[in-house]
């Protein structure tokens, strides 16, 4: 089979190339040039492109570089900045996967006549009653089904995850045994376009006007100040200009009103959450899960919470089976079946 493989320059995509080659596939590796600015974190540095190219040479497969920097800015960086301006908490890695690492990869793969595309994500695609679904990766600690939940329809039959059935330790061992240069390379942990020396504030400051805000308690009494309301996130407890005393959390962030409301941890809990910008693996899934219990995950490796789905047109309300800590607007939640094995939907939390 002719397979187009996304190679980030990390060990997972390197071993994915090795596995595909061993399986007899005709593999072409591609690396996406996404972020055009300075970067010393994530998977967008110049050294990552070089690592991917060198691994492709080791495996004797072709390697190409596709420039998607304009699309990356339009779909990831600009919305990231706008989200802070709007007082929501973005998830840029989800949007990068949605628009670049899958939409553009799949579009390019089909246009070039490839029979499948592949990535090094720790997830699997399994058939359930003959229907393809995203399933959790074999290594629970490295599972990435959350960040690839947006795959749907015919794309589920076109995408391959060659290392999804492997433990991370096995991936590294395979890389070591073959002598791949990425065998001991650390995993990417940070947002790729935010350098470690400048951080989030340093990245946003030249792109966004920061506004000071008052911090008030639930009685409306001023208890502190923050320099930039755009940098405050729901649930935050540090950097709120508060003195000593009981621990307080940001329980509401009003950017237009330049106000942050703080309260106790118990006031962070909510009986439900509203979700929009929905993704369903298949067109029938929305009706299938309506009224049903699902397990909801609110971050890449976060705890799962049980809730009941109520479909409201283009949005969903998840009523928690027990009070659950609020999820910041702008964050992604993914719905799993009752066995916590397969993705049945997902979306973005609304204010």
Give the number of other CB atoms < 10 A from CB of residue 107: 11
Contact (CB, 8 A) for 112 and 66: no
The residues that bridge with 273 in the sheet, in sequence order, are 318
Q: Is 86 exposed, middle or buried (0-12, 13-18, 19+ CB in 10 A)?
A: middle
Place of tokens 């596995």: 19
DSSP H/E element including 142: none
Catalytic residue list contains 93: no
Catalytic residue among 43, 44, 93, 192: 192
Q: Which sign, positive or negative, has the C-alpha torsion 132, 146, 79, 273? A: positive
Residue (of 340, 337, 341) closest to 135 by Cα position: 341
Find the distance separating the first CA and the last CA of the chain, reported in whole Å.
45
| Cβ neighbours of 44 (radius 10 Å) | 26
Cβ–Cβ < 8 Å for 272, 319:
yes
Q: Ramachandran region of residue 114, left (φ > 0), alpha (ψ -120 to 50) or beta?
A: beta
- Cβ-in-10-Å burial (0-12, 13-18, 19+) of 282 comes to middle
Q: Which of 43, 44, 93, 96 is catalytic?
A: 96
Determine the angle formed by the axes of helices 168-178 and 11-22, rounding to 10 degrees: 70
Rg (CA), the chain: 21
Is the separation of the CB atoms in 84 and 204 below 8 Å? yes
**44 catalytically annotated:** no
Query: Which tokens sit at 10?
Result: 């990390």
Active site residues: 96, 192
């Amino acid at each position: 089979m002719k397979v187009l493989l996304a190679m980030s320059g990390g060990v997972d995509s390197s071993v994915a190339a090795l596995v595909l080659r061993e399986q007899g596939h005709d593999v072409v590796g591609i690396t996406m040039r996404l972020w055009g600015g300075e970067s010393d974190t994530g998977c967008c540095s110049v050294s990552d492109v070089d690592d991917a190219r060198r691994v492709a040479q080791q495996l004797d497969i072709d390697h190409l570089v596709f420039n998607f920097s304009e699309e990356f800015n339009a779909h990831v960086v600009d919305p990231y900045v706008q989200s802070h301006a709007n007082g929501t908490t973005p998830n840029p890695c989800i949007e990068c996967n949605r628009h670049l690492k899958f939409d553009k990869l799949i579009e390019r793969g089909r246009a070039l006549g490839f029979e499948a595309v592949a990535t090094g994500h720790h997830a699997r695609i399994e058939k359930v009653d003959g229907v393809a679904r995203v399933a959790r990766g074999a290594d629970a600690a490295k599972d990435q089904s959350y960040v690839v939940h947006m795959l749907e329809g015919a794309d589920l039959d076109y995408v391959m995850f060659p290392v999804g059935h492997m433990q991370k330790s096995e991936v590294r061992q395979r890389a070591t045994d073959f002598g791949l240069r990425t065998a001991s390379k650390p995993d990417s942990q940070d947002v790729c376009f935010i350098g470690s020396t400048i951080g989030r504030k340093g990245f946003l400051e030249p792109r966004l006007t920061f506004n000071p805000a008052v911090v008030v308690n639930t009685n409306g009494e001023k208890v502190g100040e923050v320099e930039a309301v755009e940098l405050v996130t729901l649930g935050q407890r540090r950097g709120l200009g508060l003195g000593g005393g009981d621990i307080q959390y940001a329980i509401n962030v009003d950017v237009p009103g330049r106000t942050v409301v703080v309260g106790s941890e118990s006031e962070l809990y909510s009986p439900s959450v509203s979700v929009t910008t929905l993704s369903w693996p298949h067109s029938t899934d929305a009706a299938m899960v309506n009224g049903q219990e699902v397990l909801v995950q609110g971050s890449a490796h976060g705890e799962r919470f049980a809730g009941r789905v109520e479909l409201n047109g283009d949005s969903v309300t998840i009523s928690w089976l027990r009070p659950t800590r609020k999820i910041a607007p702008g964050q992604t939640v993914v719905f799993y079946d009752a066995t916590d094995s397969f993705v049945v939907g997902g979306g973005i939390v609304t204010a």
